[in-house]
Structure 1
Amino acid sequence: MNGPDGGAEPAPAKINLALHVRGRRADGYHELETLFAFTRFGDRLEARQADGWSLSLTGPTAGAAGPLADNLVLRAARAFEAQAGGRRYALTLDKHIPVAAGLGGGSADAGATLRLLNRLAGEPLAEADLERIGAALGADVPACVRNRTAIGTGVGEALTDAAALTGMGVLLVNPRVAVPTGPVFKGWDGQDRGPLFSDWRQARNDLESPAIALQPVIADVLDWLRALPGVSLVRMSGSGATCFALFEGAAPEVAPPEGWWAVSTELL
């Protein structure tokens, strides 16, 4: 089903291949330079025409997604309607992305909502318009609307397309601890360690240290990933706690230590 009466859209998980914090702004936000990439693993959104907006959640991480009224899917749907009108839908979100994990779960879902509703409405809005709507919902939402490898500056909302890394294997691992974004940024030491250049492999994630200070187990995840054969790069994504290992070929199917969450996937 993929017409005006309804359809479906993937919501790929976001990872930050690099994340440089350059400064703290007067408004309390931080100036960032980051490289966004997206994985084949993620959530999935379905829409079926209805008299009004509604949202139901399924999937293994649905229970941690918080109150439905605050969900970014409904907020994105109403923001789209305010800009472009159109039909209303009963929405079903199949949740697989862990919550508060540095994978942009809510932002990915909002991005998928805006793409899907725009398509069902006959593409009345350009991608740039959808990104502007998304920016009012969260700093990562514009990147998740674009849904392809991009450099983000500002608070992450100013985007420039980057070379695709399609097919590169990635192993995502989370020790099943939630790391709220605010405290991690608050723990940043304020030191500008330099810009993000074109060689992102030589870059860094400036939020790793403050995230580890809050949840020391993140350091254990990074060490475990570095010890895997064939790994080419290990880093934490976003504000954590999910870490990733990149592989030139397919990511291995490995069992993580007991209690940790892991998924083998690839970059889009």
Structure 2
Amino acid sequence: MTPAAIRDAADDAPAKVNLALHVVGQRPDGYHLIESLVTFVAGVADRVSVTPGGDADTLVVEGRFAASVPGGAGNILLQATAFARDRIAALGLTLPPLAIRLDKRLPVAAGIGGGSADAAALLRIIVDACPAARAVIAAEAVTLGADVPMCLAGRPALVSGIGEHVEALAPLPDLPILLVNPGVAVATPAVFRALASRNNPKLPPLPPEGFRNAVGLAEWLGETRNDLAAPAITIAPGIDRVTAELRATGALFARMSGSGATVFGLFADRSSLRRAGRGLKAAYPSWWVSDPADTELTAA
């Protein structure tokens, strides 16, 4: 028996942004404990497409950053397919072989979800076809990577543990956000190895009334940190330059996302964001700058 309605389908894998990221401990097994306010950027995304059929799972990668995506068994999309197939088989169902296509538009090893977001998009397609597996796949998705559960949820959230605890939040205000990467891949394990302190203060409480606008969110973010920024900058000093340039262009707030090297800038309005995006693209053609026409915080 096969999952109902597994057929041609596609889903976006939007960029994940850690607006704040505190490292608050470390488990005996070495995994770091975090607290993070996370959101996703509409319109800035990879695209995952699936067609059932064939004799075995296959993967085709295209797009600007295709050359940076590992192939074979090391690819997280093929790992996610095997993961889902095992969970579906435990329910007495069969997931047929899938032909997967990835349009890789986001930089790799960039602190914005990347492969985890791609895996989450594929898992959403699969659980839409097999709803009976939704709960177990969501509960165990962290085994694919710490970012996969938050990317699977795909909405503003307070994330804790090693990434497995995802507390959905009310929508954030509609804010213009620009993502900029200096063209440097940063390996997350190297950043954690360079981390000076693994037991840092937790996030401050979120305002009970939420954030009314960009200014309110920027003020709250000023009380928070990304504890991975300092070690990441020792590996990729260009992160500091990007952050300074975003502030110089008029961003209300700028900070590195995740383990880097992508930096986000929050702007008060879209005209300011568009000016900043055009200026940075012209001044730094080797940098990746998200399309200013598509950058706003996901509201759902």
Normalising by the smaller structure, the TM-score range is over 0.9
Q: For 2:236 and 2:245, how far apart are their aligned partners in 1?
A: 16
CA deviation map 1:156-207 (0-9, x unaligned):
2211112222631111011001111011111111164411121552211011
Aligned pair partner of 2:181 in 171, 174, 181: 174
Change (3 A) 1:130 1:191: closer
Amino acid at match of 2:48: L
* Residue 59 of structure 2 corresponds to residue 55 of structure 1: yes
User: How far apart, in 2, do the equivalents of 1:33 and 1:172 lie?
Assistant: 21
Is 1:267 the counterpart of 2:269? The answer is no
Q: Is the 8 A contact 1:131 1:141 kept in 2?
A: no
Unaligned 5+ residue runs, structure 2? 89-93, 208-219
State the match for 1:254 in structure 2: 278
Aligned 1:214-233 pairs, distance under 5 A: 214-229=235-250, 231-233=251-253
The Cα RMSD (Å) is: 1.6
Q: Give, as a single letter, the amino acid of the residue that structure 2 aligns with 1:133.
A: E
Q: What is the CA deviation profile of residues 22-42 of structure 1, one whole-angstrom value per residue up to 9, with x for unaligned ones?
A: 123321111110111111211
What residue is the counterpart of 1:11 in the other structure?
13
Higher strand share: 1
Q: Equivalent residue for 1:183? A: 190
Counterpart-to-counterpart distance in 2, 1:135 and 1:191: 21
Kindly name which structure, 1 or 2, has the bigger radius of gyration based on alpha carbons: 2
Task: State the alpha-carbon separation in 2 of the partners of residues 248 and 151 from structure 1.
Answer: 23
Determine the C-alpha separation between the residues in 2 that align with 1:59 and 1:213: 30
Specify the alignment match of 1:110 in structure 2: 119
CA contact (8 A) 2:26 2:199 kept: no
d(CA) in 2 for partners of 1:56 and 1:157?
Answer: 29
- In the aligned structure 2, how far is the partner of 1:183 from the partner of 1:5? 40
Task: Indicate the residue corresponding to 2:99 in structure 1.
Answer: 90
1:35 corresponds in structure 2 to: 37
Mean Cα displacement is larger for which, 142-151 or 246-255?
246-255
Q: TM-score, normalised by structure 2?
A: 0.83
How many Å separate the matches in 2 of 1:186 and 1:31? 14
Gaps of 5+ in 1: none
- Offset at residue 233 of structure 1 (A): 1.4
User: For the structure 1 residues 133 and 191, does the alpha-carbon distance in structure 2 shift closer, same or farther, using more than 3 Å as the test?
Assistant: closer
Query: Whole-Å Cα distance in 2 between the matches of residues 103 and 203 of structure 1?
Result: 19
Aligned partner of 2:228 among 207, 225, 246: 207
| CA distance in 2: counterparts of 1:146 and 1:129, whole angstroms | 14
Residues 191 and 79 of structure 1: CA distance in aligned 2, closer, same or farther (over 3 Å): closer
Identity of aligned residues (%): 40
- Tell me how far apart the structure 1 counterparts of residues 247 and 235 of structure 2 sit (CA, whole Å): 21
Classify the secondary structure of the residue corresponding to 1:255: helix
- Whether the aligned pair in 1 keeps the contact of 2:178 and 2:289 (CA below 8 Å) is yes
Distance 2:198 2:71 in 1: 37
Match runs of 1:56-205 below 5 Å: 56-84=60-88, 85-121=94-130, 123-126=131-134, 128-165=135-172, 167-190=174-197, 192-197=199-204, 198=206, 200-201=220-221, 202-205=223-226
Seen in structure 2, the aligned counterparts of structure 1 residues 159 and 91 have a Cα distance that, compared at 3 Å, is: same
TM-score (norm 1): 0.93
Deviation at 1:261, TM superposition (A): 1.1
CA distance in 1, matches of 2:146, 2:173: 24
Aligned residues: 263
Tell me the CA shift for residue 124 of structure 1: 2.0
Contact preservation (8 Å) 1:114, 1:145: yes
User: Which residue identity lines up with residue 111 of structure 1 in the other structure?
Assistant: A
Cα deviations by residue, 1:187-237 (Å, 9 ceiling, x for unpaired)? 1111644111215522110111111111111111110011112x2211100
The whole-number CA distance in structure 2 between the counterparts of 1:191 and 1:73 is 31
Correspondence for 2:261: 241
